[in-house]
Chain A
Amino acid sequence: MIQIQNLSKTFNLTKAQKKELKTNASSVNAVNNISFDCQPGRIFSLLGPNGAGKTTTLRMIATILKPSAGDIQVSGHSVIQAPELVRSKIGFLTGSTKLYDRLSPGEIVDYFGQLHNMDKALIETRKDALFTKLGIHEFSKKRIGQMSTGMKQKVSIARSMIHDPQVVIFDEPTSGLDVITAASIIDLIRECKEANRTVIFSSHIMSEVDLLCDDLAIINKGELVYKSSMDNFRKESAGTSLTEAFINIVSKHNPVAA
């Protein structure tokens, strides 16, 4: 379970960043006082336009970034007080994640298994199961640098799931992938739900959201502007497409109370 409470993140701006953003402000609020919960066995979708603060939020859940205010509890552990415990519970997969070009899939998965303090036998068992499920065995001896984007994404999935995480974070996981590889990731997200994991998922593709999600939140300019169950969202957007409903919400930009 993920519980986000009054979460904010402020970035100090360098001179170059001020110039790029054409602002005199010394800092920018990437995420401003947002709160929501993600339940085990349900898929939570985090939506928002580019630069809304989705990736910053997901990075705070993954403890890559520290919150400026508020807190996040992952499986009962605070990202501020026990970041290492939180990291042992999560799997993190993004569409932009890259792998080590000079290593093979087996070496990468072994490396991450060892970094999760798993013993050798358990790594082998989990690795074999994941490689079989994802069809990695046939190219397991190849180095990553010689692989297609789809093959790499499969290895990324195996790397993220090797330690059997309770919470899985997917940040635009199908971005740039062909239909077949994207479909295998959609299946994996579904399987995570069936295995009673907590899944948080960010995407720009509304059809994927419609297909997968149980709950959703929309953020814009760092603020939470909508949160509801997917069923309720469908009801509220009756007569319009989900994309239109999303655009309407973002353009209204009405932050809801935390």
Chain B
Amino acid sequence: MSTILTVIKKEIIDTLRDRRTLMSAIVLPTLLIPVLLYGFSKLSSTIIKKEKEKKLSIAILNQPSDFSTYIDTSKYKLVTDMDMEKGRDAILGDDLDAMISFDESHNQAVVDNKTAKVNFWYKSTNLAVKDRLTGIFDDYEEDLLDDRIKSLALSKAVLNPIELNRYDIAPKKEQIGKLAGGILPYFFIIFCFMGCMYPALDLITGEKERGTIETLLTVPASRFSILFGKVISIALVGIAASGLTILGLVVALKVIPDIPEDFMEAISNMVQVKYILMLFAMIIPLSLFFAGLISALAIRARSFKEAQSLVTPISFLAIMPAAIGMMPGIELNWTTASIPIMNIALATKEIVAGTIDMGHYALIVLSLIVLAIIAVVLSFRQFSKEGMVVN
């Protein structure tokens, strides 16, 4: 036991002095979510505001006289001398934002209570153009409709045979929890893997490559103690990376403005000791599993570069199930609870939403513990082979 603790102490000091590991396991997980959230909310609000306030250049062909009242000239610049062909080219060349063309028979169709056709050209890549002009058409259409109803002496209810009232009784916590809870594990599973990957390559393959492993094997300690000390150190870095991802989210929510209150409330519910403990009960065996698995591969490699090429494809084993678990419609049940990694993503959704089934949860934690044990045994088998350890 004292050997294991000695190895852990040394490996943690050594790892914390490695810039590459610090970057991937500490700095990136802590900052990624706050930077993403802040950047996304700031960028999207700036873009939306800009697009809403931008004065759009539009061309209107065969404009009916009553339509001009719907166009606020402080927000729209009317471009004249356009025909259909010139207008399309101008939109494609970004000289014009949109073109509206009324049929020549438009006024007659309105009077005859017939459907009048209006054509509208725009580029969907120009954000907000479609929405802003569709809003104008909706107002125009509603006014025309009111006139027709009045002239026909009908009640507006004739056009609305039913009134559908929707009541979503799912608590906000559950609604937002399932959304946010789907994204969160995607990040902490990836960072857990990355957090384990660099220390494993450095503490195992790096030690082989640098030739320090030979000296380490001449101390009066069992190979298992040495390996287990290393695997625990690697797993601790993975756990720290996952924990910092969650911490990053909490800090981001506290610091970043413009986050909807409902969302804040739902996420704040997640930051309870009970839920955090439940997440860590999954993260700890998951990290040990990653540490054991990556170590088993790292032992086989002769160089850091070779180890990277062996381990990188395995990262898809972490990313894919986590991504699938993030998809809507995939629910936690006895089958999905048995699928490694995906089960963590699904369980996190349920934990955050407050709807976790404790039977499913117990199966997940137990299966992760079994996987962690298998991975550690696998790495020990590799470490016991003298040809694997000494180049």
Contact = CB atoms under 8 A, between A and B. Distances in A.
Contacts of A18: none
Contacts of A85: 220
Interface residues of B, number: 24
Interface stretch (B25-33, B81-89, B103-111, B211-219): B211-219
Interface string A48-65: 000000000001001111
Given A94-B214, A102-B14, A102-B18, A112 B390 contact: no
A107 interface: yes
B46 interface: no
A87 B6 contact: no
A159 B215 contact: yes
Nearest to A87: B220
Contacts of B217: 62-64
User: Top 6 nearest A-B pairs by Cβ distance?
Assistant: A88-B220, A115-B219, A102-B17, A87-B220, A98-B211, A92-B218
B221 A115 contact: yes
A15 interface: no
B155 interface: no
A109 B259 CA distance: 53
Interface string B1-27: 011001100100110011000000000
Contacts of B17: 102-103, 143
A160 B214 CA distance: 12
A64 B390 contact: yes
Nearest to B212: A98
21 contacts: A11-B387, A12-B387, A63-B217, A63-B218, A64-B386, A66-B386, A84-B220, A84-B222, A87-B219, A87-B221, A92-B214, A96-B211, A97-B214, A97-B215, A99-B212, A100-B14, A102-B13, A102-B17, A111-B10, A112-B215, A116-B219
A117 interface: yes
Interface residues of A, number: 34
A146 interface: no
A175 interface: no
Interface of B: 2-3, 6-7, 10, 13-14, 17-18, 210-212, 214-222, 386-387, 390
Contact of A64 (B210, B218, B220, B222): B218
A87 B215 CA distance: 11
A114 B6 contact: yes
Contact of A111 (B2, B6, B220, B222): B6
Given A85-B220, A112-B219, A117-B2, A64 B214 contact: yes
A87 B211 contact: no
Contact of A62 (B18, B218, B222): B218
A212 interface: no
A178 B17 CA distance: 30
Contacts of B212: 97-100
Interface string A151-166: 0000010011000000
Contacts of A216: none
A97 B217 CA distance: 12
B206 to A, nearest CB: 10
A125 B390 CA distance: 33
Contacts of A65: 386, 390
